Structures are given as C-alpha cells and as structure tokens.
A = this chain, B = another copy of it.
Amino acid sequence: MSTLVTGIAELVTNDPTRGESPLGLIPDAAVVVADGTVVWVGSATQAPAADIRIDVDGRAVVPGFVDSHAHLVFAGDRAAEFEARMTGARYDGGGIASTVAATRAAPDDLLRRGLADLVAEMRRQGTTTVEVKSGYGLTVEDEARCLRLAGEVTAETTFLGAHVVPPEFAARTDDYVAVVTGPMLDACAPHARWIDVFCEPASASAFDGDASRTVLEAGRRAGLGLRVHANQLSAGPGVRLAVELDAASADHCTHLTGEDIDALAGGSTVATLLPGVEFSTRSPYPEARRLLAAGAAVALATDCNPGSCFTSSMPFCIALAVREMGMTPAEALWAATAGGAAALRRPDIGHLGVGARADLAVLEAPSYRHLAYRPGVPIARALDLPG
C-alpha cells in the first residue's frame, strides 16, 4: 500500500543534490511512501498517484529527528536535585546512585512503562529514532535487563556498564572494569548494538583513558560498535581515543583542545553535542562553530536522563544550538537529523531520499526555521502513516 503525503509547503530532504543547501529543500513538495520506505520525492505537481493521500495543508515536513544519545531506562525522581542545583542549595539525595538504586529495585513493568512514556513523548515531538543506553543497573543482571527492555523499543541499544563505578566497587575501578569487560559484557552484548564509556579522568567515579580503552576494545571484540562520553567535564583523552578507535560518536565535547578538534575533523567520528545538559547544569556550551569551521561532523541529541538533563525535546536542542552555540537553523536541523544518523552509522534514516525509511516529522509551521524561531513550542510531531 502506498501513501502520498502532499500539501508540503517546504520539504527538507537532506539530499544535497537537490538545491543549494545541504538540507535539499523542495518547496510545494510531495513524498510517496510504501512499505515503510520513501519511494518518490519531488514537486507536488509531479507527484504520482498512490493508494492513500495525506494532505498536510501547507506545513513543513522534515526527516524525523534522530536522537542518538538518551538514557531512558531508569526509575526514581530527581526533580529536587535539579532544584537544589539551580538554586545553589545544599542537597544530598545521592545523585546518580539514587537512580541506580531505584532502577535496581524497580520491577520490569515499571521500567517498561517509563521507557514507553518517554519514547511516546519523543515521538509526539518529532523524534523517530532514539538510541537508548543502559547504565543505571551496573550489575550483570540489571544491565542485561535494562538492555532487554531497551531492545523492546529501539534497535539502537547501547551497553553502558561503564557509566559510573557503582558504590559497591568504590575505589576499585579496575575490579569493576574487569566485570564490565567480562561477565557483564557477555550478558549484555547479545542485547546491544553499541558499547559506550564515560571517559572522564576528572571524575573519581568515571573512567580514565586507559580504562576507557580497555572497555571499548573489549566491546569491539564482542562485535559492538563504539561510542564515548568524551570531554564533558574537562579536556581529557576521550575525544582522541574515540577518533583513534573509530568510534561512531564522541558525545558532549564540551571541553575541546585544538588537537581534539583536528582529530574530529580528520576522522569519521561524529561530535555529538548535547546542549540540554549545559542548559540544565548551567554550564558553558560546546564550541560548535569551531567544530563546524574545522569540518567536523556535528550531531545534536537530548541526553535525556533524570540527572543532568531531563529534556526529551529535539526542537528545544535545536533552539539552544542556534541561540547558544551560533549554529544556523539549517546546521542545527541537519545535526538533529542527518547528524544523528551519522552518529549511529545509519544510512537509512536522517534524510528523505528515495530508499530512506519513511520517518517524516510534520511541523505546525511553514518552514523548518520555526524550530528555532518558536522556542519551547511543540510544533513538531512524527507523522503516523497508515499500513
């Protein structure tokens, strides 16, 4: 069964062969999809017939957002911690350890419901692909459980046993790394596409360059692709390690040296920026313009998680990228779609060329520019197609 989507005031294809911009804009456009795939794209006046017709009545259509960094399998509430951080009040609610404890204690159905609610919330905001990490279980059994649940909602599952060193391994990072790269990896690899590590020598509960390399190389041997939480809190070795090991993405990139930027520009690792984190922790934003000027590929993602950033909104991240990082609305949209797809090494998503997955987002606006022009307003939604 084929569906014609027409009445598109402005279509973003991300096909650079169409028009002057990398966004491959087509005005007054139509798209035909069949069996979940884009089969025709062009001017509405030239559109072929299809079984079903959807008229979006002068709205813009963009590729569904690809949110390539999210932590959605968790239990517990950290709103009070957020409030304390924002107001400078003392707070000792346990931070990430409180999420780990609540997640371990939660039955599957509670985790499954929270995960489903967040994925649905994202879809209502235009996100059609989301990567989901483990990392709040931190035992062999709980990490595997979180990844099994993540696999129920997405193909982009990431094993993040090396998120933090859990309390029971405090000051025994090497012992914990041995678990992560041994029995935990064995239990988790069947449920994961990716492995990730929080590389941050500045944090006692995270992993230094050597430990991160150990984790990533073990993951690669187990058949997993690589991703790195890199250079969030300091200009550590994460980004260069990610590029050296050809990780798909180095995420955060908040503190970069010139050498880090050169490495990203020279490699195939995407710099995934997560400006919602800087918003919600009142931190300085990454230097997107330096990355773009150097020729690095840039993605935007939410980092949706209960601690440092609980936004699920890709449009909000686009608005921040424009306001706070000086990205153009076009660069920000590209980063939130094609950039995210590159960060997941997925040629089938993040664009709307023929052959792409039929992931369309409709905007309550005539142009993609409104994603930044209308900050905080829920103007994007994933288009539900029949069949």
Residues of A that sit less than 8 Å from B by CB: 77, 79-80, 82-83, 86-87, 121, 124-125, 276, 279-280, 282, 310-313, 315-317, 319, 322-323, 326, 328-329, 364-367, 369-370, 372-378
Contacts and interface: CB of A to CB of B under 8 A. Distances in A.
A370 to B, nearest CB: 6
8 contacts: A82-B373, A83-B372, A86-B322, A87-B326, A121-B364, A310-B370, A313-B375, A376-B376
Nearest to A314: B376
Contacts of A326: 86-87
B316 A377 contact: yes
A204 to B, nearest CB: 26
Nearest to A317: B376
A77 B279 contact: no
Contacts of A373: 79, 82-83, 280, 310
A114 to B, nearest CB: 12
Contacts of A366: 77
A12 to B, nearest CB: 14
Contact of A311 (B121, B369, B374): B374
Contacts of A329: 83, 86
Nearest to A330: B83
Given A279-B323, A282-B323, A323-B282, A375 B80 contact: no
